[in-house]
Structure 1
């Protein structure tokens, strides 16, 4: 073995004997297909391949809403992959309860995941009946407003510092032929934007009362009415987006065709791929510049139960590799997300990532709605806001009534 190969293995931080002795191909399914996402996935594949195994990429085009049913169908249908992405939360709960997902408790205990994974809620989301069933890989926060500095310069107005200034600048953007707010047509985008508006305008306590406590009375109250008013402003500002995928909406901001986008920190990967610099070419406002709180959603990998002994051992290697410090840094710098390890060096982080790290360090965090609500309740919410953003005749009052019904029956 040459010295270059040894150096790669040492950089990956994975023990050579385990990786080399059980070398095999392992299919990994995920829905990371945008340019920035693909660059991040390549870092995971490189780290796993350095163990002597081979990452067989099973990317599924589209959003998680498109990919998850395919993944679940394969697992329940007897054609499991080696590992698969799900979001932090309850998306794999039924698969675990059916005995179809592998218990990773031994790996997690051996590598002290409970000591290194922060916040603890991420590993809690992987834990069912005291056993750990997934390897969290990142912290993705939804609560960001991404602004094109060039678009506001063209419109002759200052780059907004908060949501109210942004709404006030919308007419100037429209006059300059710029879409004020880019929103793609996928239902999760409009539903996510509403959740972000709720945290920014109504605050953390109200957010928890609605999504964690399922308090229908609060959902029907005046604080949420203010959020629906803001959602109505967002709907008006997004008229003319005419794109479907989230990264297409991000590209409108990158190219200055749109003034801004409410989107999770994964948008950073697209800005980075386009060579744009945070603070120079674009501005990021956590909590919409109103309430600097971030959610600790994100992604984890689950490992279906396999009959093949070599592939089962390779699963353990992959789980370990995903939490390896070097892998965590390389992947998250490309993905735009924060690492799940609290002990890694992110000196290379850009201005926006540093803002997120600072908020995380202060503990100004909330759980993502994927962690607080069942997939069925999430789907109902997505359907509502997809219709709300697409149908101007639906009043905020009518939409709020439907929202209350969803919360009242939510699981």
Structure 2
């Protein structure tokens, strides 16, 4: 396996097509929280400084709201200049329909195959040997974020893993705290389930189900225990009535909630609130039980456009997004990890350093977007929303979850 190396200086140059004149590009994305806005501003600043113009097309409501709008515009003949998708199969049908710009020449000119790590990030947007996306970060969703203030108010130590978190929940409640902050957006329920799955069932079992597609294991006792654990966790989140994920993060920041299961993008919100990792909050990758990262994250795709000038600007932006300077500036604000291993992240906080160590060690699993089709993911997202928000029996949810997986084989 390729080894991640953190260089002490920015060593890579970027091969950019020559610009005849400045070009406006509308860029659609769903980064609208305080931390996300600060991060995307770094991308816009870099593109504007290069001579072109970033026209921001932020869509509120998260990916579940934004993606259908983005796809409708592309298929309806009103393409934007660039658009965000997650790593995986979200844009596959658009690529196969011939609606996305081929970036292979940009990737080859800038040696993406040599610098992008892990290689699965490029593999996820490679179709028939051609590259169609510019990956910008690695986001692992399986983190437990804890409020040091909430535990100090309750007079108990900050937990070191998920089991301790569950055990101390009654003491948090007695101190007037919400044990688990969880927003009402569907993807948050799905994310929490995925994190608890590996924490309870373990990495090997998770891989048997999601990589090897072993449905006997999916229907077995290990995942029965997962659904029981989620049923227990939903009680801890019963008084969490916020909608957006960043509102749930704010409950942790203010000490109103003990913890939140959320991706490392939560770091952006802590940073905007001037919170210090290790002092004001604690981060536990893999919920403190399994030290690993999943290789989710974000990439930009470039819908085909009839204008040659727009296409040249699209390729300039693609190259810029993967450049060392932009990778550092963006990911330090976003809380995510860079997609290349030759950049200097000496300014990383304690939580990002934990992630970098895991990335260097190769403790990685593919994201759900890479493992299952959008149809299967949507079915299980709907199921898990119902499971989290009702008193559905764990056995019933487990049985339906397995049936949904089987439908994607």
CA-CA distance at 1:156 after TM superposition: 1.2
Equivalent runs, 1:217-256 vs 2, <5 Å: 217-256=216-255
Q: Runs of 5+ in structure 2 lacking a partner?
A: 1-9
Contact 1:215-1:408 at 8 Å conserved across structures: no
Contact 2:23-2:313 at 8 Å conserved across structures: yes
- Pick the aligned partner of 1:396 from 391, 394, 397: 394
CA-CA distance at 1:397 after TM superposition: 1.1
Equivalent runs, 1:254-269 vs 2, <5 Å: 254-269=253-268
Alignment partners' CA distance in 2, 1:186 and 1:270: 18
Q: Runs of 5+ in structure 1 lacking a partner?
A: 1-9
CA-CA distance at 1:358 after TM superposition: 0.3
Contact 1:211-1:407 at 8 Å conserved across structures: no
- 1:6 aligns to what? none
Q: Secondary structure at the match of 2:179?
A: strand
Alignment partners' CA distance in 1, 2:281 and 2:344: 25
Alignment partners' CA distance in 2, 1:335 and 1:58: 18
CA RMSD of aligned residues (A): 1.5
Contact 2:16-2:319 at 8 Å conserved across structures: no
CA-CA distance at 1:14 after TM superposition: 5.9
CA-CA distance at 1:408 after TM superposition: 1.3
Contact 1:12-1:50 at 8 Å conserved across structures: no
- 1:7 aligns to what? none
TM-score of the superposed pair, with normalisation by structure 1: 0.95
- 1:5 aligns to what? none
- 2:53 aligns to what? 54
- 1:18 aligns to what? 18
Structure 1 pair 389–109 and aligned structure 2 pair: CA distance change class (3 A): same
CA-CA distance at 1:233 after TM superposition: 1.8
Alignment partners' CA distance in 1, 2:402 and 2:61: 30
Alignment partners' CA distance in 2, 1:16 and 1:52: 12
The alignment of Structure 1 onto Structure 2 pairs a total of residues equal to 400
- 2:74 aligns to what? 75
Contact 1:23-1:310 at 8 Å conserved across structures: no
Q: Secondary structure at the match of 1:200?
A: helix
CA-CA distance at 1:214 after TM superposition: 2.6
Contact 1:293-1:359 at 8 Å conserved across structures: yes
Give CA deviations for 1:255-284 in whole Å, capped at 9, x if unaligned: 111100000000000000000000000000
TM-score of the superposed pair, with normalisation by structure 2: 0.96
CA-CA distance at 1:213 after TM superposition: 2.8
Contact 2:99-2:303 at 8 Å conserved across structures: yes
CA-CA distance at 1:306 after TM superposition: 0.4
- 2:403 aligns to what? 405
Contact 1:209-1:218 at 8 Å conserved across structures: yes
